[in-house]
Amino acid sequence: MADKTTPLHDEHVALGASMTPFGGWLMPLRYTSDLAEHRAVREAAGLFDLSHMGNINVSGPDAAAFLDHALVGYISKVREMGARYSMICAEDGSVLDDLIVYHIAPGEYSVIANAANAELVLAKLQERTTGFDVTLKDVQAGQALIAVQGPRAAEIMLATAGLAEDAEISGGTAFADLKYYACLRMRFDGEPLLVGRTGYTGEDGFEIWVSAERAVALWRALLAAGEPLGLVPAGLSARDSLRLEAGMPLYGHELDTTTTPFEAGMGRVVRLDKVSDDGTPVPFVGRDALAARKQSAPARVLVGLRGEGKRPARAGYDVVRRGEGTAPGTVVGRVTSGAPSPTLGHPIAMAYVTPEVSAEGTELAVDVRGRAEPFVVVPMPFYRRPQN
């Protein structure tokens, strides 16, 4: 099957992007240089096309109770116009996808899924609707999702021609008061659209859902407003190195169907304390397995690794004990993501390792194509943005 293209495809091509297949979509990998795009996001801002992300609208009188049942998070506690990072697990507690849920109106939610998992998430959600008065709708088609990420993102949004606040639809929240992990309705050329203050880069930033018809106009308006402030279009390559520095998991790397949220260090998203309106615990999908898993010692844990040399570790490489010279020692784990960190200037990686070598400061090595390269266990995130 041919890869799908987003409403912004022609813009990417015109900007000279290298396009790459990703999750069933043809997406920009980079426009000019991975490093330049990465640095622009850390220092000014980057513009991303995220239209490949799945978007499932959940509405109805039981929408909140349904999401409490279908996902591991406590979604009924998310206030209107709030957002929450969550996961959908199988009965055995394994992660089917990680998601962001936006509470976009009374009794209405947007569930944002990874591109490669969007169909599965919709199918699994549909399966779980039995007994709930709820309607699911795949609303991805006909929309684009554009992200502005970086310390100058708010400034750029305010400077964008045609993008305006409107108290009539914003519920009285000013753009300036929009909190991290919350959303707001604004207008672009008169059309109402949803803006979330969320992202996947470790920086401040916004994600904007816009109709396919106006996507190109909004993309160009954001670029025009942002370029004088240092904004550049940024591709998946920069997005991956940015999220890795920020210690954020990527489905298919840190998370998959062999992993529960606990191994991934994301146990906090599993809300065993969820109760229904009548005060009884919510028997959400995966609850029993996850409750048991929380009590048992993990077989492996996700850790951050900092390279002491120059050679980066890559996904799939073995983590080993340090041995004699450059000979790799016993295998104690596996790298899930790895890259040279553009911001920090040394290699960074995430890896699953056995618990006895997971303590901070543990000196390990990664088998980089037959040679043991020294790495040390460090806390994540690797990079944290300076707070104002």
Q: Is residue 110 at the binding interface for another protein, with CB under 8 A as the rule?
A: no
Q: Is residue 314 at the binding interface for another protein, with CB under 8 A as the rule?
A: yes
Q: Which is nearer to another protein, 145 or 238 (CB)?
A: 238
**Cα(3)–Cα(41) distance, integer angstroms:** 27
Q: Is residue 311 at the binding interface for another protein, with CB under 8 A as the rule?
A: yes
β-strands 45-49, 231-233: how paired?
A: parallel
Half-sphere exposure of 87 (CA within 13 A, CB side): 30
Q: How far is the CB of 129 from another protein (least distance, A)?
A: 40
Q: How far is the CB of 237 from another protein (least distance, A)?
A: 5
Q: Is residue 310 at the binding interface for another protein, with CB under 8 A as the rule?
A: yes
Q: Which is nearer to another protein, 33 or 57 (CB)?
A: 33
Residue type, 326: T
**Other Cβ atoms within 10 Å of 267 Cβ, number:** 16
Binding mask 338-357 for another protein (x = CB under 8 A): -xx-x---------------
Which member of 35, 120, 224, 282 binds another protein (CB under 8 A)?
Answer: 35
DSSP class of 87: E
Which member of 33, 57, 211, 343 binds another protein (CB under 8 A)?
Answer: 33
CA distances from 157 to 15, 100, 148, 228 (A): 21, 22, 8, 13
Among candidate residues 73, 65, 92, the one with its CA nearest the CA of residue 290:
92
Which member of 1, 277, 361, 369 binds another protein (CB under 8 A)?
Answer: 369
Q: How far is the CB of 326 from another protein (least distance, A)?
A: 13
Q: Is residue 318 at the binding interface for another protein, with CB under 8 A as the rule?
A: no
Q: What is the DSSP string of 189-252?
A: TTEEEEEE---SSSS-EEEEEEEHHHHHHHHHHHHHHHGGGTEEE--HHHHHHHHHHTT---BT
Which member of 17, 23, 34, 215 binds another protein (CB under 8 A)?
Answer: 34
Q: Is residue 237 at the binding interface for another protein, with CB under 8 A as the rule?
A: yes
Q: Which residues bind another protein (CB under 8 A)?
A: 29-30, 33-35, 38, 237, 240-241, 310-312, 314, 339-340, 342, 369
